[in-house]
C-alpha cells in the first residue's frame, strides 16, 4: 500500500495541482492582451531563459529533446491557447485536456503491442460519456472547434509523455528547460504567419504588467515550479501516492473559473465533469486497489 504523505509534502503537492488548475484562468486573462501563439512563444521563452544558463543540458538525444519541445510547446499549449481564445471556457478546458491520460495509454499500448484491459475500456467509456455531454451542450462559450482543438492538445500532451518516457531524463526540470528551445521557434513562426507582425508588435507595446505577470506565472509557476516540485515528490514517494493528486487539477480549474470568471456550473457540466473524473480515477486507481485487495488475501 502507498505510504501516507507527510503534511508538508502533501501541502507541496496540493500547491502544484492548484497552480496547474488555476493556470487555466491565468491563460484566459493573458489572452485578453496577447495573441495565443505569441503568448505560448513568450511562455516557453521565459522557461528557456535564463534557465538555459544555470541548468546543464540533460543526457538525452537532441532529437528526443526536439520532439518533446515541439509536442508540448507547439502542439499541447499552442493548440490549447488557440482553443481558449474564445472557443472553450477555462473550466471545461481544464477538464477536457485530462483525456491525455487515455491518449497516453493508447499510444503506449500501440507502440508496445499491448492490449487494452477491460477496466481501461470501462474507464474510457465513462470519460467518453462526459465528453459526449459537452459536445451536446456546446454554446457561445464552448464550440465544437474549441473542443476539437483541446482534444488535439491532449493528444500532443500524450505524445510528449511518450517522448519523455523514451528519453528517460534523470532531471525533468532540465529536460523541460532545454526542450523549450525547440518549442519557441515553431510558435514564433506560426505567430508571424497566422497572427501577423502588426498584431504581435501592438500586443508587445500595449501589454501591461499584469499580462506579463500572467506569462511569468505560466512559465515559472506552472512549468518550472510545477515540474521541479512534482519531480521532487516523485523521487521521494511512490508514484501511487503522488499521481492520484493530479485528479484535483480540473477541480481547481473549474473552481477558479467559477470563482473569478463567473463561469456557470449547470447540471450538464457537473455531470460531464463527474463522468470524466470517474473515468480518470478508475483508470488510475483500480490497478492499485486490486493489488491492495489481493495482498490482503
Domain ranges of the chain: 7-296
Q: State the Cα–Cα distance between residues 226 and 239, nearest whole angstrom.
A: 16
Residue 1 has pLDDT above 50, yes or no: no
Q: Find, among 245, 255, 277, the residue nearest to 15 by Cα.
A: 245
Q: Which alpha helices (DSSP H) does the chain contain, by range?
A: 7-30, 36-48, 62-69, 78-84, 90-96, 100-112, 118-136, 144-167, 172-179, 184-190, 197-206, 209-216, 226-236, 239-242, 249-261, 267-296
Name which residue leads in pLDDT, 105 or 61: 61
Cα(31)–Cα(111) distance, integer angstroms: 37
Range with the lowest mean pLDDT among 78-92, 180-194, 224-238?
Answer: 224-238
The answer for residues whose C-beta is within 8 angstroms of residue 55's C-beta and 6 or more apart is: 171, 173, 174, 177, 178
Is residue 76 scored above 90 in pLDDT?
yes
Distance of CA 49 to the CA centre of its chain: 21
Query: What proportion of the chain, given as a percentage, has pLDDT over 70?
Result: 95
First to last CA, the chain: 14
User: Is residue 295 over pLDDT 90?
Assistant: no
pLDDT digits (tens, 9 = 90+) for 250-275: 999 999 999 999 998 889 899 999 99
For the segment 121-131, what is each residue's pLDDT rounded down to a tens digit? 888 899 999 99
| pLDDT on residue 296 | 63
Burial annotation 83-103 (CB, 10 A radius, 16+ → b, else e):
bbbebbbbbbbbbbbbbbbbb
Please determine, for residue 7, whether its predicted confidence score (pLDDT) is greater than 50: yes
Mean pLDDT of the chain: 89
Q: For residue range 188-246, list pLDDT tens digits in order.
A: 999 999 999 999 999 999 999 999 999 999 999 998 999 889 888 887 887 667 877 88
In angstroms, the CA 127 to CA 130 distance is 5
Among 257, 290, 276, 3, smallest CA distance to 142 is for: 257
pTM for this prediction: 0.89
Amino acid at each position: 500500500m502507498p505510504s501516507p504523505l507527510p503534511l508538508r509534502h502533501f501541502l507541496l503537492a496540493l500547491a502544484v495541482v492548484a497552480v496547474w488548475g488555476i493556470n487555466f484562468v491565468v491563460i484566459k486573462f493573458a489572452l485578453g492582451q496577447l495573441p495565443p501563439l505569441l503568448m505560448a512563444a513568450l511562455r516557453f521563452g521565459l522557461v528557456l531563459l535564463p534557465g538555459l544558463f544555470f541548468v546543464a543540458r540533460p543526457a538525452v538525444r537532441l532529437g528526443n529533446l526536439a520532439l518533446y519541445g515541439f509536442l508540448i510547446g507547439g502542439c499541447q499549449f499552442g493548440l490549447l491557447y488557440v482553443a481558449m481564445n474564445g472557443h472553450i471556457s477555462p473550466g471545461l478546458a481544464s477538464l477536457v485536456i485530462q483525456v491525455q491520460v487515455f491518449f497516453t495509454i493508447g499510444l503506449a499500448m500501440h507502440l508496445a503491442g499491448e492490449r487494452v484491459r477491460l477496466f481501461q475500456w470501462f474507464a474510457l467509456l465513462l470519460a467518453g460519456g462526459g465528453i459526449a455531454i459537452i459536445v451536446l451542450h456546446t454554446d457561445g462559450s464552448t464550440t465544437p472547434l474549441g473542443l476539437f482543438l483541446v482534444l488535439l492538445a491532449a493528444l500532443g500532451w500524450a505524445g510528449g509523455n511518450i517522448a519523455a518516457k523514451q528519453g528517460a531524463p534523470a532531471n525533468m526540470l532540465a529536460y523541460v528547460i532545454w526542450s523549450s528551445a525547440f518549442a519557441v521557434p515553431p510558435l514564433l513562426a506560426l505567430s508571424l504567419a497566422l497572427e501577423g507582425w502588426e498584431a504581435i508588435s501592438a500586443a508587445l507595446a500595449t501589454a501591461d504588467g499584469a499580462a506579463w505577470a500572467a506569462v511569468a506565472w505560466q512559465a515559472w509557476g506552472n512549468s518550472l515550479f510545477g515540474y521541479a516540485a512534482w519531480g521532487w515528490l516523485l523521487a521521494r514517494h511512490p508514484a501511487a501516492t503522488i499521481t492520484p493528486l493530479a485528479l484535483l487539477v480540473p477541480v481547481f480549474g473549474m473552481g477558479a473559473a467559477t470563482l473569478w470568471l463567473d463561469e456557470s456550473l449547470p447540471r450538464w457540466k457537473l455531470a460531464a465533469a463527474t463522468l470524466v473524473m470517474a473515468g480518470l480515477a478508475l483508470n488510475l486507481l483500480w490497478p492499485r486497489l486490486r493489488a491492495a485487495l489481493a495482498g490482503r488475501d
